A and B are shown apart, each in its own frame.
Chain A
Amino acid sequence: MTDPITPPAAWAPPQGALGDRLKAWVRGPARKYLAIFGWLLLLTLIEVGATFFSMPKKTLAAFLIGTALVKALLVALYFMHLRHEVRLILAIVVLPMLIAVLFFFGLFPDIVVGPRAAP
């Protein structure tokens, strides 16, 4: 399975001043990973910033969980290369998640109708 993120093996670090080499490296093999890093950083800052705004608790919770899921998806798709994985690997990842979510929602009736625990 080839990894489209990984640049071709023919890529070689350019010669020259350290600044030029660093610039070439950032524009070359590291570009994709640094872009994802930037997005993850931005989303984390947005998450932390959102807690300082006064908004309804449920809206804030939904926003924070949504942002966290987007971040988790970015890590899984790009750093873990799930975006380009074969079906077998996708099945190995998705099936336990589906089962776990099913079990999780199976507990929901306990929350809705069960006795409330002490804090």
Chain B
Amino acid sequence: MSTVAHAPAHEQLHRTATGVDNHKLGMWLFLASEVMFFTGLIGSYVVLRLGSKEWPDPSSILGVNVLALNTFILITSSVTMALGHQASEQGDHRKAASLLAVTAGLGLTFLTIKLLDYRHLVHEGFTITSSLFGSCYYLLTGFHGCHVLGGVVALLVLMARARGKNPPKPAAVESMGLYWHFVDLVWIVLFAILCLV
């Protein structure tokens, strides 16, 4: 996408032919591909589940309370991310950096709990090869976990930049926020269909 050719130099960074910031448009296009990716995975899970004669009760295998705690952590991280973007828009880069650090910390807490959950489940004999449900659970939550890990790395990079002399533009923080909220949104759906239903 090209920027408007005749706009003054200082406006060319913001004005685009579509009226949408390039960072944001790029992130939404990426998220559109992610929607397809996760819908494919979730769709396969639903088809496998509905096509099976029997399916175990997830609450009898999974620690629902631990997974609910993880949901709470990820929802909280979405709030801190939104507030971080707000601080960045207000030009308070120090506050934005702190809120990005809190978001990354909550993401790491989520991953730690997830790994401990995996360890406990494997110890109990519930592995990726033990059943169809096991394969679906580890595949879906594993891919989601990879996305959280990627988000944490990006958050830490953005936080370091926000603390430096050349802080990121609010649009960059917003794009990061879009990705993080999407990861939260996917977990909300996974928690319900994989762990509760």
Interface residues of A (CB under 8 A from B): 1, 3, 5-7, 9, 11, 29-30, 33-34, 36-37, 40-41, 44, 47-48, 51, 60-61, 64-65, 67-69, 71-72, 75-76, 79-80, 86, 88-89, 92-93, 95-97, 99-101, 103-104, 107-108, 110-111, 114, 116-119
Q: Which of B43-59 contact A (CB under 8 A)?
A: 43, 46-48, 50-56, 59
Residue of B nearest to A75 (CB): B185
Question: By the criterion CB–CB under 8 Å, are A89 and B47 in contact?
Answer: no
Bound-state Cα–Cα, A71 to B181, Å: 12
Question: By the criterion CB–CB under 8 Å, are A119 and B72 in contact?
Answer: no
Q: Which one of B28-36, B143-151, B157-165 is at the interface? A: B28-36
19 residue pairs from A and B, CB less than 8 Å apart? A1-B19, A5-B86, A34-B79, A36-B79, A40-B75, A40-B188, A48-B196, A64-B193, A64-B197, A65-B192, A76-B185, A80-B178, A88-B20, A92-B28, A96-B36, A110-B47, A117-B52, A117-B132, A119-B56
* 8 closest A-B pairs by CB: A68-B192, A100-B39, A104-B43, A119-B54, A79-B181, A96-B32, A37-B79, A61-B197
Question: By the criterion CB–CB under 8 Å, are B75 and A68 in contact?
Answer: no
Q: A64-B196, A71-B188, A80-B185 are in contact. List 15 more A-B contacts (CB 8 A).
A: A29-B86, A29-B90, A37-B78, A44-B75, A51-B196, A65-B193, A68-B192, A72-B188, A88-B25, A89-B20, A92-B25, A100-B36, A100-B43, A117-B52, A119-B132
Question: By the criterion CB–CB under 8 Å, are B64 and A48 in contact?
Answer: yes
Question: By the criterion CB–CB under 8 Å, are A68 and B86 in contact?
Answer: no
* Cβ of A53 to closest chain B Cβ, rounded Å: 12
A interface majority secondary structure: helix
Interface size class of B (residues with CB under 8 A): 35 or more
Question: By the criterion CB–CB under 8 Å, are B53 and A118 in contact?
Answer: yes
Contacts of A114 in B (CB 8 A): 51
- Given the contacts A75-B184, A119-B55, A1 and B20 also touching, CB distance less than 8 Å: yes
Question: By the criterion CB–CB under 8 Å, are A79 and B197 in contact?
Answer: no
* Cβ of B100 to closest chain A Cβ, rounded Å: 15
Bound-state Cα–Cα, A7 to B68, Å: 32
